Structure 1
Amino acid sequence: MPRTPLRRSLPLAAALLASLLALSPSAPATAKTVTDMAKMTVTVPDAPKKVYALSPPDSLLVYAIDPCVLAGWNFKPFPPAKAFMPACAANLPILGGFFGQGMVPNKEALLAAKPDLVVSGTMARSNPEFDKFFTEMGIPVVRIDSESPDNYPADFRFLGEALGKKERGDALAADADKTLTELRAGLGRIPQDKRLTVYYAEGGDGLYTDGAGSFHTMVIEMAGGVNVHKKPQSRRFGMDKVTMETVMGYAPQAILVQDAKCRDMILTSPLWKDIPAVKSGKVFLIPDAPFNWFDRPPSFMRLLGAKWMAHALYPEVFPYDMVKETQAFFKLYLQKDISTDEAKVLLAGKNPHRSK
């Protein structure tokens, strides 16, 4: 009987399935049951060896618990950031993820990485195809609420339990809770009509921004600022275009900038000179190492970023020694000792390892 196209394809399909099964993680020797933050009961390994997270904020929460348990990155870390990372995390493969702009993971790369646990946070945008994929491969998925820093204490506690590192998770949760409590207490002493208005300048010309209520701007509210751009975020990635006339009309008392060249332009351009923030010198370059302290990606670094911004806006209410705060944060969350000079460089919006 002649071989039909269907018959010819069967051996190929069988070979592909066999290779996928060979790459997929084997059943854990020991397992436990956890209730995730979506109230789902999930059976997970007692101590997962490789964890894949669906979006950058979720990967970084896992990284804070244990950088060596990550199966791979779903975004490409800025090269100088590697100087802050242990070897186990510095050269991980880029697996892709779910975080808008049509991003989806690479299935073959995922299987080659052999994750035995998947973390799906509210910052991710999964789809039925990949939900089915993880189910068929026998990889358990746990869900966390990762959008707001208010969730971080619970995130750290849950991930510490799920990853078999309860003591570490509890320590991070306690510190996150302490930071949030301090910030709320300080803000309680600042009347609403005394809070400074803030413009978040993005893009090379500073004429992109994100609105009040956006997850991209949560640090502004955490630190007691009032976002001048009230319009709702028009797309998930953010960066809504505005005009120079709009910014002048906003007349912000402080400006946050992501890019040093943009900061220098704002401070020297005649177009910006009459804006109150420029007149008073309150144009702040956001620190970005090893991961941005404010946004893109929004991560646990926002806990330090909120302290930095609160101190910049209201030093009399938040008299932090930001050098010591930065050193303590890096030691606890990133398990990295940094010198006083390195902390000062970081706070200036620079990376002490950028040239390395």
Structure 2
Amino acid sequence: RFRRRGIVEWVGLGLTLVLILAGCGGGAGGGQGAQTPATPGADTVQGGEASTTTQYPLSVSDDAGRQVTIQKRPERIVSLAPSNTEILFAIGAGDRVVGVDSFSDYPAEASSLPKVGGVTDTNFEQIVALDPDLALAIGGAEEQVQRLEELGIPTVVIQPATLEDVLERIELIGRIVDAQEGAARVVRDMRNRIDAVRSRVADIPEEKRIRVFYEVWHDPLMTVGPGGFIHDVIEAAGGVNIAADAGSPWPEISLETVVDKDPQVIIVPASLKSSYEELRAGKRKGWEGITAVREGRIYSIDDNIISRPGPRLVEGLEQIARWLYPDRFQ
């Protein structure tokens, strides 16, 4: 019913680089929990109260299992993923970003920054010319990270798997770049909004929760499974992911399994316009009897608020919650 597929294969199958750059490919072991400085007390002040100023040098363990030491407060940062870019700007460190990957387009200020390419076409000469003292990369970009290391650029891999990981990585980035107050503010706002959604659906019995199918890709048919932040978002919105028993965060799923599970809502990223139009028109063979198709509950969601593990992920959560339970989210 389900087949596991790694993110590298996923990209090879034709899924846009936007998704992998957004961090949509954390494997089942992608979430490593909150990282802490290797130096005891680096982020504390006398009396045990949390400090809002990072002490350097700072050592962290990143999502590639690497130990990285940042010698001083980063002043020239290169972001190599849209999610990292959005986090940096949201926590108040945007004025220190000197270059971004090709897909970073939010906020508007990021669009005007020098573009240094993507995972497969990184312009290392341009990165060197920008003279960065920190690079924030993503998982699955081993060659890129290795080259940056060879160039002497401190590089931290950020690859959250779960929704909780996303919040923890925002805090980690805040600590790395000495923007802890901004990171705490962003995480506090996100937690409040997540809790607000959860509280509105908390009393819905399991058997009455809306069954959801999220289409990641159409050929082969892929969806989201446990261990991934989109799965977590669906559950936080009060939905039941029909692939909740899959063995990985990004499994293949058969057409027949979707029919058997009979989702009441189908969600498709906006980048898969042809899939959305096919489903809306009821033209996918064998799916005519699925409840979501019969009742027209097929929705297209902006990739950037659901596939980028950053501050706007709560917008994706709130949108999905409105689709699932419009009476509770008016």
TM-score (normalizing by structure 2): 0.67
Within the candidate set 86, 98, 113, 1:60 is matched to: 86
3-state SS, counterpart of residue 220 of structure 1:
helix
Q: Is residue 195 of structure 1 aligned with residue 209 of structure 2?
A: yes
One-letter amino acid matched to 2:208: K
Contact 1:198 1:255 survives alignment (8 Å):
yes
Q: Equivalent residues in 2 for 1:61-140 (5 A)? A: 61-65=87-91, 66-77=93-104, 81=105, 85-86=108-109, 89-97=111-119, 103=120, 105-120=122-137, 123-127=138-142, 133-140=147-154
- Among all aligned residue pairs of Structure 1 and Structure 2, give the percentage whose two residues are the same amino acid: 22
Deviation string 1:145-199 (CA, Å, 9 cap, x unpaired) is: 6332213433333323332333322221211221233234344322222221111
Query: Relative to structure 1, is the Cα distance of residues 165 and 188 closer, same or farther in structure 2, using a 3 angstrom cutoff?
Result: same
Name the CA distance, whole Å, in 2 between partners of 1:191 and 1:277.
20
Deviation string 1:59-83 (CA, Å, 9 cap, x unpaired) is: 4322433444334333435xxx57x
Q: Is residue 225 of structure 1 aligned with residue 239 of structure 2?
A: yes
Of structures 1 and 2, the larger Rg is shown by: 1
- Indicate the RMSD between aligned Cα atoms, in angstroms: 3.3
Query: Relative to structure 1, is the Cα distance of residues 220 and 181 closer, same or farther in structure 2, using a 3 angstrom cutoff?
Result: same
Name the CA distance, whole Å, in 2 between partners of 1:278 and 1:255.
8
One-letter amino acid matched to 1:247: V
Flag the structure with higher helix content. 1
3-state SS, counterpart of residue 161 of structure 2:
coil
One-letter amino acid matched to 1:305: G
User: Aligned pairs, how many?
Assistant: 266
Question: What residue ranges of structure 1 are gaps of 5+ in the alignment?
Answer: 1-30, 98-102, 322-356
Query: Relative to structure 1, is the Cα distance of residues 280 and 303 closer, same or farther in structure 2, using a 3 angstrom cutoff?
Result: same
Q: Which residue of 2 aligns with 1:307?
A: 318
Q: Which residue of 2 aligns with 1:33?
A: 57
Ranges of 4+ aligned residues in structure 1 off by more than 6 Å: none
- Tell me by how many angstroms 1:277 deviates: 0.8
Name the CA distance, whole Å, in 1 between partners of 2:169 and 2:179.
13
Query: Relative to structure 1, is the Cα distance of residues 187 and 144 closer, same or farther in structure 2, using a 3 angstrom cutoff?
Result: farther
Q: Which residue of 2 aligns with 1:163?
A: 177
Query: Relative to structure 1, is the Cα distance of residues 187 and 137 closer, same or farther in structure 2, using a 3 angstrom cutoff?
Result: same
Deviation string 1:202-239 (CA, Å, 9 cap, x unpaired) is: 44x68722242152632222322222234334xx8x47
> More relative contact order in 1 or in 2 (CA 8 Å, sep 6+)?
2
Q: Which residue of 2 aligns with 1:50?
A: 76
Q: Which residue of 1 aligns with 2:223?
A: 210
Q: Which residue of 1 aligns with 2:298?
A: 283
- Tell me by how many angstroms 1:32 deviates: 2.4
Name the CA distance, whole Å, in 1 between partners of 2:144 and 2:298.
43
Q: Which residue of 2 aligns with 1:24?
A: none
